[in-house]
Each structure stands twice: as structure tokens, then as C-alpha cells.
Amino acid sequence: MSTTSEYSFFQSVEKSFDKASKFTNWETGLLEQIKACNSIYSMRFPVKMDDGKIEVIEAYRVQHSQHKSPCKGGIRFSLAVNQDEVMALAALMTYKCAIVNVPFGGGKGGIKINPRALSTYELEKITRRYTSELVKKNFIGPGIDVPAPDYGTGEREMAWIVDTYQSLKPGEIDAAGCVTGKPVSLGGVRGRKEATGLGVFFGVREVCLMEDVMKKLGLTVGIENKRVIVQGLGNVGYFSAKFFRSNGAKVIAIAEFEGAIYCADGLDEEAVFQHRKTTGSILNFPGATNIEKSSDALEMECDILIPAALENVIDKNNAPKIKAKIIGEAANGPLTPEADEILSKNGVLVIPDMYLNAGGVTVSYFEWLKNLSHVRYGRLEKRFTENANMNIINQIEELTGKKVSPTERAVIVHGPDEIDLVHSGLEETMINATREIMDIWNANPSIPDMRTAAYVCAINKVAHSYTELGIFP
């Protein structure tokens, strides 16, 4: 993967912010406050590894903004973690939450480790120690700062975090809301796991349904038969691929560290995932062609490219070679600012990360609300709705003298389960955000690209909440 940029990750977020702030009327001081990282907690702690040796662990939690409480954002485990990266990711969380109207400030955490090289026991010790460091400094809590999964973490780590937190804060009634992305059995919400990938799909689908946008790109309207390339088969890439495929698109290539595979008829992400699990590599998947150099997959002919791995994978060197018409940024920061400029000049539509991958935090918001309300979604209304629907169908049948089929009856009567409500809340959120950003772009043709329009949307919302708070004495 190429990673050349003259800007650090945080600087490139600042650069995008500055580019957009010119299209707003907010005073400089306020813009500077929105841009700044409010609190940075950089920590080092010792952990005794399985071989008996002590290792000093480098970790961070950054709270970019506190205009809304709590702060929100994932925790990543990766050797590439550094302060600048966590600051950039925390800043993106501020803008992301604002765009999708999720009432949180932006935060992010990171631990500089390679989770694949550590045992489960070592990972548990590190995660629990990190959590207690956060508790000590009041950097975690349902009303303070609420972590979630990110690159290299998932339900298991969130379970360790909530358990550590609860044991340190006995009797705290809302403690389950101290972290999201938990297993359902520990207060998680159904639908959180696939949320980011599903949100990516909803966002791209909405763009593909815009006739004027598709016409400009020379594409047909809709998702059906679009050729999609996905980089990364982690949680986000896997579920993005799944929803594109199951809605009629063809996932023609999937890329991972070790290489990429191509199949013009489309790949089944689940079969690829299982193949990788058993053989240890994505390569040599039956019926597909190997692409030895993984990054070559990004440059292949396709309609939609979904980078769903890490930042800076498209830079000034490979940007001119990109043939996709649409890039859906499922990862955070997959394009360098230089790449962004090149792609925009080449007429590629970049659907920006900070809103396109907001599905995760949107469903995290639903999970947090569930934790604070102490009740599962749908518990109160499901049966009531089903009874009401049943009465309506019975009446219609009686008045018309006709019967609906048992399958249709089941569909019409069905009252919402938690998963239905979460998915529909996510769909509504992503559709609204896409339209809102496009409206801003359409209303001001001098805004150069969709990312800038998204930043304008975010800046306006954050600025409004600062001014409404009246916190500048």
C-alpha cells in the first residue's frame, strides 16, 4: 500500500476543513475551536506478556469535541497507531456525528499493538488495563466518553471494557452505556455488527438513485449490476460486499494484505471469507484470478470502488490510475488530499468517509439509547402493532369477501423487532444525510466536491450547537 502525502492525517483533515469553511460565514475563532482537539490523553502502561516479559504499551484516547456529551468513537488496535492518527480519527467523529444528527462529541482511542501477534489472554489484559486507565482519568463513562469497535477490535474487546468498567463502578445504573458494539447478551443492540457496511450500502445506493448524478458519471440509475471492488474483508468490507451483492451488484474483486482476487461474474464474500479462514489467504479462491499485488485491485476497471481498510491507500501516485466512477469511502481517510484533488479533476465522485461510514456510530447511538432506557427495542409495541394489523386485515377480508395469502398476511401483520427498527433507523439516517449533503452541493455550485459539501454540513451543525450553547463568555 502506498502512503505518500505531504500532510499528516490530522493535517489532511484540517485541510479539508479549511477548504470547506470558506463556504460558511462563521467567525474565525469559532472555526478554530471546532477544528482543535480538546483533550488528548497519551498513556503508557506495563503489561506482563505470556513469555513473562514486561512490555510497555503505548495508547491514546482523544476527545476532539465536547459540544455534545458524551464523546463517541472507536478504539483501534494497530501497529500504525500514533497520536496524529487518533487525533484525525477523533476529528472525523465530530463531523460524522454532526452530519447524521447523532448527539455526541467526537472521540477516538488507539492502542499500538498488533492484535494478530498477541494471545487472547494478552489482548484481554491490555484491554482491561487500558479501560482502567481511562476510568482513572475520567475518560470513559455513559455521559463522558463512550468507545466502540474500530480497526482490530470487536464485540469481544467491548465485552472486556464493559466488564472492567462495571467492576470499577459498582451500582452505576447506566454503566452498560459506557461502551457500544457489545455482544447482545451484554447490552448490545441487534444490527450493530453489520451497521457500518449496511450504512455504506444505503449511502451509495441513495447516490446511485440520483438521476442527474448518474447521468454525469455515465452510469445507469440504481445498484443493479454495478461492478464493485472492495478493499478489506474485515467487518466493514465484508458487510459492504454482502449488501452490494445481495442487492444485485457484482463484487468483481476483493483485496486483502496478501493479495487480491478477481472474478467478472462476481464473488460471494462469505465463501471468500471461509476460504481465507481455512487456507490463511484470500488467494487461490476457486473460480477467481489471483492478483498478486493487492493494491493493483484498486486500479481495475469498475463502477464503484469501496476502500474499507485503512487510511491513505489512494495517494497522488495511484490516484491517476483509478478507473472507478464512484469511490465510496468505507474506511476513515482512505484518500490523501492530493489524491482527492486528482480524482475530483478526473470526474470521479468520492462519497466521503465521515458520513458514508457513519452507520456504525448511528447504530451505536441506538445501542446507547437502549442501555439508558433499559429496554429492548420493539418490546413494548411489537405485539400491539401485530394485533392492530391483524384487526385491519380481518376487517378488509370481511368487507371485500377476499382472503390474503398466508405469506402476505405474515408480512403485513409483522410488528417490528429490534433488528427491524435498527435497520430502518439506519436507512432513514443515511438517506437523509446523503440528500442533505447533495442539497448543500447543488445550492452552491462553487463547492468543488462532495467531501467539501459534507464538511460544510458538519461545520454548520457544530457551529450552531456551539453558538446555541453560548459558551463563549
Q: Summarize as ranges the residues that interact with ligand GLU (CB under 6 A).
A: 72-74, 148, 150, 180, 332, 357, 360-361, 364
Task: Tell me the CB-side half-sphere exposure of residue 49, using CA atoms within 13 A.
Answer: 11
Q: How far is the CB of 13 from ligand GLU (least distance, A)?
A: 13
In angstroms, the CA 21 to CA 16 distance is: 9
Q: How many CB atoms lie within 10 A of CB 236?
A: 28
For ligand GLU, which residue has the nearest CB?
Answer: 74
What minimum distance in Å lies between the beta carbon of 93 and ligand GLU?
6
165, 140 in Cβ contact below 8 A? yes
Buried b (16+ CB within 10 A) or exposed e, 154-181: bbebbbbbbbbbeeeeeeeeebbbbbbb
In the complex, the smallest distance separating the C-beta of residue 187 from ligand GLU, rounded to whole angstroms, is 14
Q: Toward ligand GLU, which CB reaches closer, 143 or 248?
A: 143
Cα atoms in the Cβ-side hemisphere of radius 13 Å centred on 126: 30
Q: Which is nearer to ligand GLU, 332 or 434 (CB)?
A: 332
CB closer to ligand GLU out of 66 and 318: 66
Catalytic option among 108, 193, 325, 370: 108
Maximum Cα–Cα distance across the chain: 79
Name which of 107 and 378 has its Cβ closer to ligand GLU.
Answer: 107
Whats the size of the chain, residue-wise? 473
Beta-strand relationship, 75-77 and 105-111: parallel
- Between 72 and 125, name the residue whose CB sits nearer to ligand GLU: 72
325 given a catalytic annotation: no
Choice between 12 and 332, CB closer to ligand GLU:
332
Active site residue ranges: 108
